[in-house]
Structure 1
Amino acid sequence: MSNSQGFKRYPAIRCWICHVLEGRYIPEERIIDTSFGKLKRLRILATILKKEEYIFTDSFDEDQNKVGLKFTLDDGTGLIVALVKNSESEQFKNASIGDLVDIVGIVTTRNEGSFVISPTEIMRKIENPDYKLLRDADIIGKIQLKKKTKPIKKTKANDKSELKEQIFEIIEQYSEGANGISFNELLLKLKINDEELRKIIRDLEIDLRIYPSEEDVYQCF
């Protein structure tokens, strides 16, 4: 029987570029410790300042150089570079300087220590400028939420619907830092029996509201 762990899917954290630049890279985990918690995969809204080609080495053939695209992005809080190896994809090929784009990708570091988005998974042009106001409001709301200590509500044992929502809220809070929360931590917070918690977690999984990022650790989609 294989003991290998399943692939860990990191949620895309909505943030500003400054949150990445102010973060601290943890090489052992290949993750960035930020004010939003540990961040691996991000989602930012930014304007393309520069678009140019760059040369990279094919990981399957080190003697083969290929041409990718390099985007310099600005969201008003800082600058970051996004690298694209699949330069023939329409979403990247059609992106132009001055476009406001919604980007999803993995954050990593270069040899000199600067942060880059690589690989860049999604780059979608935004036509409605109000979209940025909504995104900024969402991020500001998360910042304000983190400044508060959100109390755990006392819940009646027989009110399963309320208990289910309480459990979801706790998992949602812990998902913002890309870590999730373990089953045992939930037990300690809620002080309910093991069987009841397992049943509610299973219901939330069936509802596609949460998923196990690793064994007995849960996150929101």
Structure 2
Amino acid sequence: MKATHEHEWEAAPGLPSALPADERVVWQGSPDWRSLAVHAFHVRKISIYFALMLAVQAINLTAPDSGSGWKPLAEVDWKPLVVAGSLYALAMALLLGTAWMSARSTLYTLTNKRVVMRIGIVLTLTFNLPFKRIAGASLKPQAGGHADIALALNPEDRIGWFHLWPHQRAWHITRPQPTLRCVPEGAQVGEQLLGLWRAQHHGERLRTGHVPATTGHTAPASNGMLA
């Protein structure tokens, strides 16, 4: 795999420096941009909101004046609706484009010793998360086999919420959790991460939580497998 031009400074794709002799890459992947657009940039909810706003505006344009009947469609000035629709379409295109660029510039890496997150569209940031500094994890399944894998860090470790966005777990602001967003074949990647973590902790059990795909709330943490 060859690094793209904008990341040609990397020692290897997704890695800021060459790996030590006893470390190897186990898995690499990027978010699915369509899933990222839905779950991180909320394009589905925003498109519904825009559609409702257009419907309200259309009703207002055709509403009766002073008790008269509904205006004939041919007599309605549709320019305000066309302008509003164009602005909404532009906003949606910008959101979709941002989701695509975010996914394209992101590369998640699992080695046998750490998780590496290379993120950022304009300003590239790379976070090295050794398995020894990861206290827990949760997997949130999505449609099509994608999943979010959130990593809980040790209490003394902290990364800024805005530094991670949108690669952070929702609603965890005071204790941000770095998150591998919208990962294809997320369950398999979660199992790999669990096995690598246990290898570094000599068989200890990773504190995990399973978040059902139908809810946005965290299930209580429990000892067990990522599922």
What's the TM-score, normalizing by structure 1? 0.27
Q: Which has the higher helix share?
A: 2
Q: Which has the higher strand share?
A: 1
Which has the greater radius of gyration?
2
What's the TM-score, normalizing by structure 2? 0.27
